[in-house]
Chains A and B, each alone.
Chain A
Amino acid sequence: MTDIIVGVLALFGTLFVFFAAVGMLRMRDTYLRISVTTKAATLGIGLLLVAGAVHSYELAITAKVFVIILFLFLTAPVSAHLIGRTSYFSGVKLWKNSVMDDMEGKYNPETEELGSGLEDEPKNSDLGKTAED
């Protein structure tokens, strides 16, 4: 019974890692590749590690696996955010069929200033004053 559970977990983990690798090769854009590597790889590696924990059936090993999975889940979004930020700032273009660029016009490459895109709108304090008057 334990062997079946370990086998199923290892099967799905391996398939997720394989899909991540194929997506890594086939995706058109740096940003799409970041999406692939953070989602699919963490789930695949997590399933493989859980398979190892179920197979060993020890408390110490399970705790170790839990720590590794927690570390992966904590660091994957941070590194993905940093890579995305660096690639946008160093001028990597989006794929031509991408429909949305939220940073459009909010980053000035010459002065390296980053805005929110709301600088021209009236502030909330001003709105409150006009409503009172």
Chain B
Amino acid sequence: MTLLDFIYYFVLPVLSISIILIFIRFLIGPKMVDRIIALDLIVTTGIGFISAYSILYNQPTLLDVAMILALIAFLGTIAFTYYIQQKNKP
């Protein structure tokens, strides 16, 4: 079993199952805050996907996208919490 087989048959399927599990929480999350946390974790798992694909196809250039995704996840979380706080003000 080579490394690429391991990435292809273990890492990518397990990451896919993780995203499905987090997406269930995104759908059933009782409060808006739970959905924000789930969205944050989905984007963070996407960074892991990009890293796995950069190993699989031997293209480290893809890691630029990972950096942008990390930035966007942080900004999205900040923006959503800001709007929820503003909404709660009378």
Contacts and interface: CB of A to CB of B under 8 A. Distances in A.
6 contacts: A10-B6, A24-B41, A52-B52, A61-B60, A72-B70, A83-B37
Interface of A: 3, 6-7, 10-11, 13-15, 17-18, 20-22, 24-25, 30, 33-34, 37, 41-42, 44-45, 48-49, 51-52, 55-56, 58, 61, 64-65, 67-68, 71-72, 75, 78-79, 82-83, 85-87, 89-90, 92, 112
Given A17-B15, A67-B67, A49 B36 contact: no
Q: Secondary structure at chain B's binding surface: helix, strand, loop or mixed? A: helix
A45 B44 CA distance: 7
Contacts of A68: 47, 63, 66-67, 70
Contacts, number: 150
Given A17-B45, A71-B70, A11 B10 contact: yes
Interface string B1-41: 01100110011001101110110110000010110111011
Interface string B42-75: 0011011001101100101001101100110010
A3 B31 CA distance: 43
Given A6-B3, A56-B58, A75-B74, 10 more contacts: A7-B3, A14-B11, A18-B15, A20-B18, A48-B48, A56-B60, A78-B74, A85-B81, A89-B85, A112-B89
Interface residues of B, number: 47
Chain A interface mostly: helix
